[in-house]
Homo-oligomer: A and B are copies of this chain.
Amino acid sequence: MTWEILTIIGTIAFALSGVIVAMEEDYDLMGVYILGLVTAFGGGAIRNLLVGLPISALWEQGHLFTIALIVMTIAFFFPKLWVTKWMKWGLIFDALGLAAFAIQGALYATSMGHSLSAIIVAAMLTGTGGGMIRDVLAGRKPIFLRNEIYIVWAMLAGIVIGLELVTGTVGIMILFVVIVVLRMLSVYMRWSLPHRTLSQ
């Protein structure tokens, strides 16, 4: 039940994130739907692919498709409900999606009996995969390669779950909240990682 809610939150959040990018790029109605669906379901598709689940398991999530379509339709036709504040809401939703899908990816890989390093990679790919496809299709530099701490939080979810530092519903919920908060803090506090440029 808890997990179901997390999945729904993540799907809605990433769908809205795709809608926002599509509207910024002046796509038409179909472009908005496509980019929203790709963002919402792309991470799960990549995760299924990489951890060895059939990708076709996606199609069993009929209710998630329906929810995503409803949310995207509302967002497209009634932008005044939320556009003026989207910067703020967009970041929060994106953080929710990142946390939910990173944890999901790590749990899937764990249940498949993979090694710690594989669990970490699965968490990173699931949490960031949808956004990666979205940005590549829109011709943008992928958000997880930009200079703000992003994928580290997905990695952290993988480490915590892979080492079984948290278990059970309550532990996972706490982990989820912690990752969302860390992501938001890294935006507002402008945390960044070391760089090293090749000067030639």
Counting contact residues on chain A (CB < 8 A from B), the size range is 35 or more
Q: Which residue of B lies closest to A132 (CB)?
A: B137
Number of copies: 3
Tell me what chain A mostly uses at the interface: helix, strand, loop, or mixed.
helix
Taking CB atoms, residues of chain B closer than 8 Å to A50 are: 45, 55-56, 58
Query: 1/0 per position for A149-171, CB-CB distance to B under 8 A?
Result: 11110010000000000000000
Q: How far is the CB of A87 from chain B (nearest CB, A)?
A: 9
**A23 interface residue (CB < 8 Å to B):** yes
Given A76-B196, A137-B132, A137-B142, A118:B30 Cβ within 8 A: no
- Contact assessment for A59 and B132 in the assembled complex, using a CB-CB cutoff below 8 Å: no
Within 8 A of B (CB), among A45-74: 45, 49-52, 54-56, 58-59, 62, 65-66
